[in-house]
Amino acid sequence: MIKSRLCDLVGIKYPIIQAGMGPFGTNQLCIASANAGVLGLISSSGITTQEEQPDIYNFFCRSGGADPNDTKENILRTIFKNTLEATRESQGIFGINVMVSEEMREAAEIIIGTMLKVREEDPEMKKRFKVLVTSAGDPLPWGDVINKTDLVWMHVMPSVKAAQRCKRAGVNVIIASGHEGGFHTSWDPVHSIVLLPAVVEAVADENTLVVGASGFSDGKGVAAAFALGADGVQMGTRFLATQESDFHPNWKQAVVDSGDRATLIARGFVGPARWLKSPRSQEHAKNTLEKSPGLYIGIPDDYSTLDMSLVDFEHESMNAVYMGDKDKSMFAAGESAQRINDMPKAADLVESIMKEAEEVIANMPKLLA
């Protein structure tokens, strides 16, 4: 059995994090993942979709057992409490992913504030709802709030410079996310095979763990991450295509059906995003090249300069997913989609990944003369 520092720090059986993906939410997937012995993450982005994507908002709320007409704080409270109850038998560990970009700051304050209140009100919640993953923004402004708590703080970032900023902020686990990842990805195309060991060499020590993300979908990837110095891996697309995943059936099936060279990069609402190739996403990529060309050469833009028709196109495409309109849908996914060809239960997936990882690692000594 493989056990890493990540297992010891978080209290999980296996050194795997189920990524918090949006926009549909991962309420049920988080429960299944935590019960399977990995870190399950609630995706919080659905709480921000009420105005522009009301159907997605309603699904996000109801999949967590909450009333969409309630306040955002009460919706989050309900989701947190239902997750705690559904993982009680396994004593599974769970957390939440919160985007902290400037566009999401107001929502992030509500989500993190509610998390902190709920944990202080219930000892069991404090024991098992113990991980905060921030992403898509700067961790430093959040240090004063988070470092006063007993949370395990993780942050998803795409570069050595960003990793050093995470360490300065007091982040416990730095998630090095390569350019292979799905949906939100970095402005500079640095991939995991380069990024992960560079981040490990720059920041890892007895107090700072590093986890690899993007491109990891099986036991071979887990073994490779350890060989590169990581303490574990985060997987998004692989968990998206599971039976318990909250994502729309068309989205899950699109991942399973994808083949070689299955993805492309185009504009997302917080920067570059990776999508499965389709006539719709290829149209979006052409529009991105015309209206936001800096995306392809690492020159960021923001809402003050961006042609907002690109964001409108994305919102329309996300709404189309929920409505079952395949022609107008865009499905985000990582490059690992081309290695996924089934839709197992989360527990079966985790067991098969860890079995393969153990076999690969056990065979490595045979390479030594």
Q: What CA–CA distance (Å, rounded) separates 261 from 251? A: 17
Q: pTM for the whole thing? A: 0.94
Amino acid present at 119: R
pLDDT of res. 271 = 86
Question: 177 - beta bridge partners?
Answer: 213
| DSSP class per residue in 246-306 | -S-HHHHHHHHH--TT-EEEEEETTEEEEEE--HHHHHHHHHHHHH-GGGGTT----TTTS
CB proximity list for 67: less than 8 A, separation 6 or greater: 61, 74, 75, 78
The predicted pLDDT at position 102 comes to: 75
Distance CA 210, CA 228 (A): 10
Q: Which residues touch 90 (CB under 8 Å, ≥6 apart)?
A: 34, 35, 37
DSSP state of 48: G
Q: What does the pLDDT profile of the chain (369 residues) look like in tens digits?
A: 898 999 999 999 999 999 999 788 899 999 999 999 999 999 998 898 888 888 889 999 999 999 999 999 999 999 999 999 999 999 999 999 999 887 778 889 999 999 999 999 999 999 999 999 999 889 999 999 999 999 999 999 999 999 999 999 999 999 999 999 999 888 889 999 999 999 999 999 999 999 999 999 999 999 999 999 999 999 999 999 999 999 999 999 999 999 899 999 999 887 899 999 999 999 999 999 999 999 998 888 888 888 999 999 998 998 899 889 999 999 999 999 999 999 999 999 999 999 999 999 999 999 988
Q: Are 12 and 91 in contact (CB under 8 A)?
A: no
pLDDT of residue 55: 86
Q: Residue 142, Cα to own-chain centre: how many angstroms?
A: 19
pLDDT in tens, 174-233: 999 999 999 988 888 999 999 999 999 999 999 999 999 999 999 999 999 999 999 999
Complete DSSP assignment for 86-130: HTTTTT--EEEEEE-SGGGHHHHHHHHHHHHHHHHH-HHHHHHEE
CATH of domain 5-248+340-367: 3.20.20.70
> What pLDDT score does 241 carry?
97
Contact 332, 275 (CB under 8 A): yes
pLDDT at 269: 82
Q: Which segments of the chain belong to CATH 3.20.20.70?
A: 5-248+340-367
The predicted-structure confidence for 142-168, as pLDDT tens digits, reads as follows 999 999 999 999 999 999 999 999 999
> How far is Cα 127 from Cα 154, in angstroms, rounded to an integer?
17
The token pair at 244 is 């318990």
Q: Angle at which helices 192-203 and 160-169 pack, to 10 degrees?
A: 40
